Amino acid sequence: MQISSDLIRGHLELVVLKLIIEKDHYGYELANAVAHRTKQAFSINEATLYAIMQRLEKRGLIQSYLGAKSHGGKRRYYAITSLGQAYYETKLKEWEQLKSIMTQLLEGDHEND
């Protein structure tokens, strides 16, 4: 099943940050990682990814550097900043909260509450 992009859009920043925290990535690698981890259930196109990267970089949450030459050419890698790390942790808490709220609201039988 394809997940509508509206639903996940707000959380993509968090996903991207998480991937970058694990290891420095370059653009296409990120898109690939998303598709791979979700077993192709969700893929992120370059336009969206690019918009997110720009936003994160402008706010100083990630920074980019040119990596060593490999294969065809240099790749621009993205690394997390300390600000980004802090932002990620706040956002992660927010997500946990949202998750538990949604679970409470949508799952289980509350008719007799």
Work out which of 26, 38, 63, 79 binds other proteins, going by CB under 8 A.
26
Q: Does 46 bind other proteins (CB under 8 A)?
A: yes
CB of 103 to other proteins, least distance (A): 29
Structure tokens at 10: 């707000």
Count CA atoms within 13 Å of residue 87 on its CB side: 20
Per-position DSSP letters for 59-112, written without gaps between them: TTSEEEEE---BTTB--EEEEE-HHHHHHHHHHHHHHHHHHHHHHHHHSS--TT
Give CA separation, 87 vs 48, 81, 84, in Å: 20, 10, 5
Identify which of residues 6 and 113 has a Cβ nearer to other proteins in the complex.
6
CB of 76 to other proteins, least distance (A): 5
Q: Does 75 bind other proteins (CB under 8 A)?
A: yes
Q: Does 72 bind other proteins (CB under 8 A)?
A: yes
Binding site for other proteins (CB under 8 A): 26-29, 31-32, 45-48, 50-51, 53-54, 64, 71-73, 75-76
